[in-house]
Structure 1
Amino acid sequence: MDVKEAIEKRKSTRSFLPKPVPINVVKEILRFANMAPSAGNLQARDFIIVDEEEKKNALAKAAHQAFIKDAPVIIVACANYKRIAPYGVRGRELYVIQDVSAAVQNILLAATDYGLGTCWVGAFDEEAVSSILSLPSYIRPLALIPIGYESMKERKTERVNINNLIHFNKWEGDKWR
């Protein structure tokens, strides 16, 4: 599948089959994740692969989203503050978030290419997730990404007409809603 097709096919999946995702596929998806751009090529991101039931249940509780535990695998995308340190405050507050976000998008698209469903979960208790995964203080979890085979075809959400989001050379006012 080409990148445009993956972008158009990608959607948030919240219902998974109890079918394992081969670890070599997960690692290949993460290899693509790390090909995303990063500030100064520091690659200040780390990924935790979670497939233990107890930890998946705990992550679902930390996010208050039960469907997460049903995914065969959850990837936790993390910012690495030690690696981004050369960029100071701006690196810590912005660049590392951009770096992880770009990697997460690659995860979503690569998983789609493999026929897998994903969901980018950003709302969770960071302290709880850090504790569950024994993360050191310089590692911050930014996204939980459950990955698996869809058990139910999810409906794609509507998108705003792009013409309502485009501005030329200056802010042209709110065009949407």
Structure 2
Amino acid sequence: MWDFFETVRHRHSIRRFRKEREVEAEKLHAIIEVAASAPSAGDIQPWRIEVIQDEGLRSALDAAAPGESFIGEAPVSLVFLAEPARSAAEYGQRGADLYAIQDTTIAAAYAQLAVVAAGMGSTWVGHFDEAAVRSALGTGEELVPLTILCVGYPAEVPEPTPRRPLEELVRYR
């Protein structure tokens, strides 16, 4: 098991998955548990996670995201949906507009790192037609799809992408 820093360093966007290797149920459950443990404003957890293993649903998600053809190839997709009304009940409009989005994103990021810690890979997909995702999942307007996290065992690991120097990103004061 890697320590946290190694887990973060080994996270890459995986767009080709091994078709012959399924995601084990216990690993998938552990990833979901980690996402559920993510912090949220007031511990409200204003998110839903749709675990998509069905090939037809994965294809529908693929169709909802032009140019992201690997969605249908991943054995599992985790769709993270914000539930703004849960945050709004406690924090008003700021809760709906900001906290629900932030909190759901944190949960998805936790899941993404848990995937790496479990020895797999993922890709974060944010470019999709919200209405098409809602339609595929049968959810209403009260849920906002934020990301599709494609999960599986990598068929290839890409080279790390260049990162901006810390001097450009950080200001010590």
TM-score range, shorter chain: over 0.9
Report the identity percentage.
36
Once structures 1 and 2 are overlaid, which stretch shifts more, 79-88 or 96-105?
A: 79-88
Q: Which residue of 2 aligns with 1:4?
A: 5
C-alpha distance in 2 between matches for 1:60 and 1:155: 25
What is the TM-score normalised by the length of structure 2? 0.94
- Aligned-pair CA distance for 1:14: 0.4
Gaps of 5+ in 1: 170-177
Three-state SS of the structure 1 residue aligned to 2:58 is: helix
Aligned length: 169
Structure 1 stretches of 4+ moved >2 Å: none
Would you say 1:84 and 2:68 are equivalent positions? no
Listed as ranges, the gaps of 5+ residues in structure 2 are none
The residue type paired with residue 35 of structure 1 is S
Q: Tell me the alpha carbon deviations over residues 12-36 of structure 1, each in whole angstroms, 9 at most, x when there is no partner.
A: 0000011110122112101101111
1:93 aligned counterpart, secondary structure: helix
Letter in 2 for 1:71: A
CA contact (8 A) 2:88 2:94 kept: no
Per-residue CA shift, 1:33-82, capped at 9, x if unaligned?
Answer: 11111011101111000011111011011011111110000000110123
Residue 103 in structure 1 maps to residue 107 in structure 2: yes
Aligned to 1:172: none
TM-score computed with the length of structure 1 as normaliser: 0.92
Counterpart residue number, 1:141: 145
RMSD: 1.0
1:75 paired residue number? 78
Give, in angstroms, the shift of residue 168 of structure 1.
3.2
Alignment of 1:163 with 2:147, yes or no, is no
- 1:92, distance to aligned residue in structure 2 (A): 1.2
Separation (CA, whole Å) in 1 of partners of 2:26 and 2:143: 25
